[in-house]
Amino acid sequence: MSGSLLERIQNQSALIGVVGLGYVGLPLIDAFVNAGFRCLGFDVDQTKVDHLLQGRSYIKHISSETVADWIAKKQFDATSDMSQLGQADVVIICVPTPLNDSRDPDLSYVESTTRAIAATLRPGQLVVLESTTYPTTTRQVMLPILESTGLSAGKDFFVAYSPEREDPGNAVYSAAKIPKVVGGLDPESLELATALYQQAVVSIVPVSSPEVAEACKILENTYRAVNIALVNELKVLFDRMEIDVWEVINAAKTKPFGFQAFYPGPGLGGHCIPIDPFYLTWLARRYGLTTRFIELAGEVNSRMPEYVVSRLGEFLNDMAKPIKGSKVCVLGAAYKKDVDDPRESPSFVLMELLLQRGADLTYNDPHVPRLPKMRHHNLPVMESQELTADFLAAQDCVLIATDHSAYDYDHIVKHSRLVVDTRNAAIGVVEGRDKIRKA
């Protein structure tokens, strides 16, 4: 059974099914299409499917021209009909794994997708989970659902975990150029998953089990969350001491060993760093342990939006203005520079806090022309405002939340009354530096 699938993988005749056509799924499809495979994309959002079938992309770093080329070459199709999952030789799951309201892992998308796969599961298929999750998910959550069909993993079908490593907006590290960690439930599953990704990805890192691969992803992002918390905490301390934390970091990173630069900000954003460490703390509680270090980092990072708004209020107070009634424009809705991805963006928290305090709020983001609806945020319908000289002059405060390269910071500072910079983005501005405050 595995030999037949292995042959189809090696000669690129295997049909690759990808469930979840978002910031992880589409770049993955691009990597497989470029390697010569045919791909069938699945998503419950019919609007996304329709856009793709029309050759239109909704993700900045996968262009519409790229999608149209997939279709023209007859290497891509998309559907919301999960009953077609049985057509695919390989099914890769790239669905969201958010936190629920009590900050526990929400695996409902993984579970519903696995049930859909089980409904059409046939002998000889390989199922790979890429969604970020806690160790044991593949074995304890997915496997029982798949084996409820009466088929046996490692004999009739094959299962592996390979964590996504996407970096939106970074052309240097596309999905095909990032080493891929792979853990199989059994030797045959590992062999198949390794052979699969070897066709499309620069290098493969096989590990002994899905649990190791799952833990690897959690470690990568927890490492970042903890170090960002450290510099965020130092930012608050150094600010009180009137020391520029960015200058300190830039000096420290000249050391050629033993130091990696991390930078403070208005909070954590994206689909991984604000979420993944809480998977680990939740799992630790199930094992009767507490991860105090990780939980403290989460507390520090989650306080940053409140700190930024507090400092903004102090800066406005110096101008004899309260936040209530003041015109405040937030620059950046995306969670990081030069992307259109708003997931878990601290900008949404900042905007909510400012509205709660009565600010007359607007925003600008060249990559997010209209605020999308978010599961955990309730903001009014807003559209990005053009940063004309007159518009900027009319604002009491401009808050830089995301340091997009498209921003003309000289223009912004020149025409603004007050600029609160959370990213050290306006460091190169000369004229009007007295208007800049850091937070």
Q: Does 202 reside within a domain?
A: yes
Same domain assignment for residues 9 and 123 = yes
DSSP assignment of 7-54 equals HHHHTT-SEEEEE--STTHHHHHHHHHHTT-EEEEE-S-HHHHHHHHT
Residues 14, 127 within the same domain: yes
95 and 207 both lie in a single domain:
yes
Q: Which residues are CB-contacts of 33 (< 8 A; sequence separation ≥ 6)?
A: 39, 70, 73, 75, 76
Cα 243 to chain centroid distance, Å, stands at 32
**Predicted pLDDT at 105:** 85
Cβ proximity of 350 and 331 under 8 Å:
no
Judge whether 227 lies within some domain: no
Token pair recorded at residue 405? 């390269």
Range of the domain at 131: 2-213
Q: Is residue 238 part of a domain?
A: no
What pLDDT score does 60 carry? 84
- DSSP conformation class of 55: T
The b/e string for 127-155 (b: 16+ C-beta within 10 A; e otherwise) is bbbbbbbbbbbbbebbbebbbeeeeebee
pTM of the model: 0.90
Task: Clarify whether residues 205 and 63 are in a common domain.
Answer: yes
Residue 297 within a domain: no
439 residues of the chain, pLDDT tens digit each: 667 999 999 999 999 999 999 989 999 999 999 999 999 999 999 999 999 999 999 988 899 999 999 999 999 999 999 999 999 999 999 999 987 777 778 899 999 999 999 999 999 999 999 999 999 999 999 999 999 999 999 999 999 999 999 877 676 678 889 999 999 999 999 999 999 999 999 999 999 999 999 999 999 989 999 999 999 999 999 999 999 999 999 999 999 999 999 999 998 776 566 677 778 888 888 889 988 888 888 889 999 999 999 999 999 999 999 999 999 999 999 999 999 988 889 999 999 999 999 999 999 999 999 998 877 788 899 999 999 999 999 999 999 999 999 999 999 999 999 999 999 999 999 999 999 999 9
CA 7 to chain centre: 34
Closest C-alpha among 338, 383, 348, 384 to residue 364: 384
Domain boundary (184, 213, 242) is at 213
In this structure, what token pair is assigned to residue 65?
């021209």
162, 185, 213 — which closes off a domain? 213
Instruction: Dig out the tokens for 296 from the structure.
Output: 């403290």
Question: Does residue 280 lie within any of the structural domains?
Answer: no
Does 197 share its domain with 316?
Answer: no
Return d(Cα 37, Cα 57) in angstroms, integer: 20
246 contacts 426 by C-beta, under 8 angstroms: no
Q: Please give the tally of structural domains in the chain.
A: 2
50/193 same-domain check: yes
Co-location of 168 and 30 in the same domain: yes
- Distance between the two ends of the chain, CA-based, in angstroms? 59
Q: How many CB atoms lie within 10 A of CB 296?
A: 13
Q: How far from 155 is each of 1, 3, 53, 126, 197, CA to CA, in Å?
A: 8, 11, 36, 11, 21
Phi, psi of 41 (to 5 degrees): -95, 140
Domain boundary among 165, 183, 213: 213
Q: Give, in order, the Cα–Cα distances in Å from 303 to each of 38, 316, 349, 350, 377.
A: 46, 20, 10, 11, 16
Q: Is 325 left (phi over 0), alpha (psi -120 to 50) or beta?
A: left
Q: Same domain, yes or no, for 24 and 173?
A: yes
Q: Catalytic: 94? A: no
**Buried b vs exposed e over 387-402: b needs ≥16 C-beta within 10 Å?**
beeebbeebbbbbbbb
Q: Are 208 and 183 in contact (CB under 8 A)?
A: yes
Please identify which of the residues 39, 94, 216, 272 carries the catalytic annotation: 272
For 298-402, list the strands marked E by DSSP: 327-331, 360-364, 397-400
Q: Is residue 379 part of a domain?
A: yes
Instruction: Let me know if residue 258 belongs to a domain.
Output: no
Pair (333, 184) in one structural domain: no
One domain, residues 44 and 166: yes
Residues 156 and 185 sit within 8 Å (Cβ to Cβ): no
Residue 236 lies in a domain: no
Q: Do residues 187 and 330 share a domain?
A: no
In the numeric block, which tokens belong to residue 129? 């989970």
Q: What does R_g of the chain's alpha carbons equal in angstroms? A: 24
Are 202 and 335 part of one and the same domain?
no
Q: Could you tell me the CATH number of the domain that includes residue 413?
A: 3.40.50.720
